[in-house]
Structure 1
Amino acid sequence: MRMLASMDEEFTLQRQGGIARAKKLSSEERSEISRKAADTRWAKAEAEGKILPRATHSGELQIGGLSIKCAVLQDGTRVITETAFMKALGVYYSGWLSTRREESDSGEKVPNYISHKALIPYISDHLNPEDYDSVWYRSEKGTKSRGIRAEIIPKICEIWMDARNAGVLTGETAKAIAARAEIMLRALARVGITALVDEATGYQEIRDRQALQALLDQYLRKEFATWAKRFPDEFYHEIYRLRGWTLQDFHKRPGIVGKYTTDIVYERMAPELVEELEKKNPSLSPGYRRQKHHQWLTEDVGHPALSKHIDNVIVLMRASDNWDMFKRLLDRSLPKRTAANTFIMPGLFDDIEY
């Protein structure tokens, strides 16, 4: 008995010592210890094959005065934290929700946020059974979290509104949930849920950068192609005419023509195209590069875009009396393309037509 008592006393002393040490730590130090412990747990889970996607960006989504936690996972999935979404709607684990988990018309158990019996006839109009699955993920703090895919949030709201409009929601709590669902849906009608999540989490800049890189990948080759004539003589004839130059030295064009071409053509085709071309085809000395820029453009996207752009530029040149007039028309009709003035979304350029 005395041995057991000694062991208890030793355990108590160790516990007290741990508490005392913890009190001496700053909040930042305690957070760092917790983070390392979480990383250790997740590393063990990954080693055992229990891998969950990790949240790379998180934030608070503001919809119609409602605040909901959200995240973007490393695979690009946008999620709304399930508990936060239910709280925003006013759905709590009490009352009817604590006593039943309703089945849909097809027999599957539906999620808690639509398990009100009156909703069942309207679920299949908006959701498929695979939409019922929660998204489990690792939060940025390392905790295991459960989320709802962001794109089905409007559908959930529509289910509640359908039931409300049909007059089958009799309780005041259910009616209040439907009212919040309507507020949420109206807010989402103005701005898409994906765009809101990206803005709330700060993922917007990453998304735009990835989409821009995807666009540039379609424009540019990995290796340069053999030279072929891409700029018609008329393009240069018009430059000479608008600048007031004679055509006597047409085949010995001044170096400034190269700068004009960059300004008139490449800077107006796609955002950051010139920067990427400079990396692939740097200037080795003033006025000299190993290849022409157009040799780095792809056959399926880059060259058709170049050809169409040059055609449009020549039309503006023909309509202009002088260089200043041409530049005004050019800046108005074909402004320089930058990431700031170009709206880029993932998948937008899957079937690009310049």
Structure 2
Amino acid sequence: MQENNEPKGKAKGGKARAAKMTAEEKKAQSLKMVQAKAELASMPKVIAGSNDEPLKIGEIELECYVLDDENKTRVFSQRGLASALGWDPSQAAARLANFTEGGFLNPFVNNEIPDLLRGALKFKNPHTPGYMIGYPATILADLCDAILAADAKGVLKKGQEELARRALLLVRGFARVGIVALVDEATGYQRIRERDSLAKILEAFVAKELQPWVHTFSPDYYEQLCRLRGIPYPPQKRNFPAYFGTLTNKIVYDRLAPGLREELKLAASKSKKSGRLHQHLTQEIGHPKLREHLSSVVTVMKLSNNYEDFETKFEVVHPELPKPSTRK
């Protein structure tokens, strides 16, 4: 039987519409698609948090995330913010807009809230298609303050008692623990934050080409390194010992490629004359090799009782590479 490869459903309709388009219309549509892809690529990405690990405050659950932008913005999803206030998530955008613009709460909100609601953040979640919409997490505290102020003035309408009850519940939760700390705990971001403190140490050894990859070191690597060295994790002083950078050089860079450590120092110096570092760590080869090596390192760490035990086992699995000859 001959297979029918004719498009069906939406695909068939799309093909029919494309056939009717003029050359100018096709060009405009193509440009629109390119612009949409560019916008999506430029959006901040989620680095911590997931929809199945919400922030819980009493009976209220909030989808929360941490983004990879400059400020590491903590956000609540638009749907999560609406759910926290007892609204239908599908009507989140309209309800939030009407909530402060010309509504009964307008006299009680600060000047920043309307702008923040209008300028909702678009961001990419690797676990969902397209993009998500959210707001800075601190905006919820401002909204709750406005609701409670309106309630105190007696301007809440009949049937809005539940809104005031939820606002009070949320504010009490925020008062017990800072909202940023709550989001960090719910998303696991505090583990990444501790990792970043070590990244700053490593930046003294790693040239610019490699710095974006410093953050590919998993939290397991630092947690196991702390365990083997007898140091609490996360560190009590919020910073890892400076010598961790030296250990990482020996564990990673001395075993990743011959002469890599020397190249890193050369590339980091002001007298660098050639960008040879990328020959060792490229997107196609160097980066995958780094991840592969780190995975092996963590496995050996987990099998070790202390740092001396780790050194013995690690030398068997990943012996130090010979230094390249300096002869011309």
- The alignment's TM-score, normalised by the length of structure 1, stands at 0.45
Q: Which has the larger radius of gyration?
A: 1
- The alignment's TM-score, normalised by the length of structure 2, stands at 0.48
Higher relative contact order (CA 8 A, sep 6+): 1
